[in-house]
Structure 1
């Protein structure tokens, strides 16, 4: 009888259980974001009064009760939408980088970058129109939105101050008035593009035409700022 062949040792490495990605907090954050993104579409298309929470929940693929759990009510949801949108836009303006730039060049870049925001985020203007019809109460209820604009005003004030010191800019410019003028010169063009195109029978949102408009707005601001 032949000797038995020794049994080979099992060298298979046990499979390590897969670690679950994320956790409850990450899951909740994803849910909040999906609801906010769905809400942006609903509110920008129908306004605050016309938007329906049922439709938002359907768009986001969540239960309506879960939506209320995260945001409380329709007003709380609209505040979150505005805050999210303002934060997204302010993060793209990058105005702090302009504080060390030549004042005239910095102001020109500020005008053009502000104008690009309206082109890139057309839903922002529709949200603002709805909020103005609501008396601005949602923006007023969240101090974080106002705080987002403190750095921007600081940048404008610094550009104006350095322009005055260089003998280039006038010394009677209010930074808030200036920024409102910048947004007026750029946002009005985008917001009224359809009626302007119908009246003047020109395509106004081509890349070349938008660049021309933003340079035009920047020229107007710079000439206003300069000393006589």
Structure 2
């Protein structure tokens, strides 16, 4: 075997080892996420779990944010497989969306670190993300998100065609539903609901705040219902909206500037008598008076 072929073989082996190590690091990161959450998963702990030096992690990833982004890609891949398993074009759009929403919510409840990891990236601006994550990793993250979001968008389009979902941009709405559900799952992650125990006492003094335990089943059902309600959108209020529009009195048409000027001229100019009016109002001459008198005598 020539030296050139041997060099190619060594390079391929090195590339394969690098990919295997990256997969091991991502797998260890996800295990620590699921055990401790994203906050308590440190780079030192990840390196120990893999059995490598901490410095080697930074040879494979630009930083902690990039490692977290690739771990999120791993979560999203599993989520997409679950979404695909329950989706069917033969179902009605409302039932399809409900099934996907249930899977998404249950996945967040099963893997709270997934929601934490996704939310941590959403809190950054696009400029910040591109500054912390290299372009190849951003492409992987975008592709993983687009796969799941496209399933939702497809269902929304089917619902629009059948007239059950609101006529809005489906790609935007799919992204909105994704972030909306993550926000609801953050409530389940906190497990807390804040309310006021009693009405305000003295003027200017609010009542005492009370912290309740959030019921997970309530959070789950509300998140699913909110997804369906958001997709229906204005379709739920057509009769009410139309009734308000019909009941609203129409504003009288405003006269144009020309019409105003014409009316003003007419009001300030005395009306000219007509031809008939001129004839009846013409003064009687002496000849006319004698003729009228003679005609009256003959008639007698």
Shift of 1:28: 6.9
Among 182, 187, 200, the alignment partner of 2:182 is 187
Q: How many angstroms apart in 1 are the aligned matches of 2:85 and 2:150?
A: 9
Question: What whole-Å deviation, never above 9, does each CA across 1:59-116 have from its counterpart, x for those lacking one?
Answer: 33333355455x2443553443232232232222227833332112112222222222
Q: How many angstroms apart in 2 are the aligned matches of 1:78 and 1:94?
A: 24
TM-score (norm 1): 0.66
TM-score (norm 2): 0.52
Q: 1:45 aligns to what? A: 38
Among 60, 75, 79, the alignment partner of 1:85 is 75
Q: 1:136 aligns to what? A: 129
Range that drifts further, 71-80 or 109-118: 71-80
Higher relative contact order (CA 8 A, sep 6+): 1
- The verdict on how the C-alpha distance between 1:153 and 1:189 changes in structure 2, with shifts beyond 3 A counting, is closer
Conserved 8 A contact 2:157-2:170: no
Count of equivalent residues = 199
Shift of 1:57: 0.7
Structure 2: tracts of 5 or more residues without a match: 1-12, 196-210, 239-300
Q: How many angstroms apart in 1 are the aligned matches of 2:121 and 2:84?
A: 25
Among 143, 151, 155, the alignment partner of 1:155 is 151
Which of structure 1's runs of 4+ aligned residues deviate more than 4 A?
23-31
- Would you say 1:217 and 2:217 are equivalent positions? no
- The verdict on how the C-alpha distance between 1:226 and 1:156 changes in structure 2, with shifts beyond 3 A counting, is farther
Q: How many angstroms apart in 2 are the aligned matches of 1:46 and 1:153?
A: 27
Q: Helix, strand or coil for the counterpart of 2:215?
A: coil
Q: How many angstroms apart in 1 are the aligned matches of 2:119 and 2:227?
A: 24
Q: How many angstroms apart in 2 are the aligned matches of 1:204 and 1:198?
A: 13
Structure 1: tracts of 5 or more residues without a match: 1-22
Shift of 1:122: 0.8
